[in-house]
Structure 1
């Protein structure tokens, strides 16, 4: 009777557990869409039941990031959330694994999952670091604030397409998060305006936020008077900066990096007024994203270069009029692409073909900054189906022998963050 040794039984079939864990890590990190998340979860469930060696890593990945999507009937959603809370309550070792919670709830109700989930998990998530709430109305009452304050490791909060009752509710939420380090506001709105002018009176009650992002939200969102003093990195839409340009007494004691996502219209007067009224003595880098389009527009639309010179001149005037003595660099992001069907190699080819002419025109339009050695030119593009993948390109100084540098960024869902991350890691001039 013959016997053939299988691969599993032979020495070639024995792989280090690190290899299997790395594969499970790749499965966990390679999807963001809802259908992909469900497939990933089922795969990790199967891994957890395969053998004892695979169980710890697969369980860690299953519960490290909790993503709650709400599309079904409201009663079913609440039942699912209660079952989740029940599991965490009865299993402290699982609660210790949870680090990230995302609630995606397409609902106008202020009594939905986003408003009730923290209450059910109060004092249950000792290692929760980030919370993201999207597409919902949020009820910020005393119970909600108490539950948010019960997460001792919570340092990052993202509100995207969220409606709050008033600015008072917003201030109450911030005051409940004394360890908040990173705050991201994307299209946040209020049902009532309230007394925004009194925001500075509550400054001492606010957390010391270091990274602040305010994108495409209400023009007069009263965040800067509350948090300006401790912010180190600020990303802001031009409309928000314009809405805060008339504020007096803004002091940025620690601001070193400013990113402005601008529009197509002139903005020199508003930027100049903002810097004339605010103090940012430590500011070292300014990044201006001038255009936002899909990848096909780069190839087909030649009108971009016709209007680009005027835009650059306005930006140059705004920077030169401001008294920024520590300024080290001004980066102009010529293209911020949002079309994700191209592969990485094709994205690089398009940028290499189109960008040299745009870079040359940028340097000519911003000649003063270029001669002073302050100007950097960059481009960024999302890649493939991954919504958190980006390719960031930075062009060297004119006359340099080096070719443009290409940096891949993963796990950064906001393209602006990818740009800032790459620029901050580049060596500074001495």
Structure 2
């Protein structure tokens, strides 16, 4: 009795070693150890998913996953350095120092009664460990490009759903009915954009068409999961392409509703220029293997929303300092409805925004105080980034570049403007309260 989804047609195509570019030299030696030991123990063992896809597309994989007909317990019996994880999806992790080779047993979508599947009353899967054939396993994957198997037995690539041709033609295509698959898991829409950005693939027309219509389904995804997906979208070295993909397929407003509205309302395009330049800088840092803070990333992504909220509050007559704080809080709070941005990132993000108005103040005490702020470097980098939106920041950038080496010289070379926003705002002196004779009682 077949256990794969009968609505998806399969046809096995075997691509022999001399007709594909995958070499064992491109595969992690630890992954090869796992594959060979499983094979020698009489099990089917294949490299699967992203690693096969990336090797065929000429990219170096970061992770190597193995699929096998061995159960997790059988895998553990073969490897002393193995631990079993997961309840919903039972997996084996074979640990080689800092590298983990994930080994999954072939799974099926349809339970014939022999598997371990438990469904909650509301439809959620509590456990889904229904094992099947390699054909079943291929059909349950999301994209055809991720359903390719490199078989260690003969070094061939096995393709059940047309993934080999799709990788050759640089196409991301969902397996099965696209709308059904997106409704099963709305985050697949973001995966389609992210993988197409990473690989330089186009999303197949049939898989792209439902995206704008189904974008609101992302509101049903867990905010914590969307935060993790955003990190993958924007911190993997393809942030600009990911952002443009979200725009093109109507998903940006589902993830960042207030920023998307602000970008649409900004006719000059200045806010978008700055945002894209910020993401371009992120890509450069990732390529150079330099760290990128999620706080800075979200400061860039939500800056259009902050600017729009700040203008609205100032139009209501709020003092600038109060308007800035309220705008920062409002944008952060509203964004949390969609993406669970942890406080360890949202608070530094707000500091980066609130420090921007300090850069127009050039009185010595304020300059020294700003230079000593723990968020100064990130806030200054953000000021430099704002140059992409407007040349009006050039003088401030020049001043603070010099001030980092010699504050007094910077103040002498770039005096504060008379009046206006850069002038010193007089503070009210606090009246000292007389100490009451009863103090301490």
> Normalization by structure 1: what TM-score?
0.29
Q: More strand per residue: 1 or 2?
A: 1
Q: Which has the higher contact order (CA 8 A, sep 6+)?
A: 2
Q: More helix per residue: 1 or 2?
A: 2
> Normalization by structure 2: what TM-score?
0.29
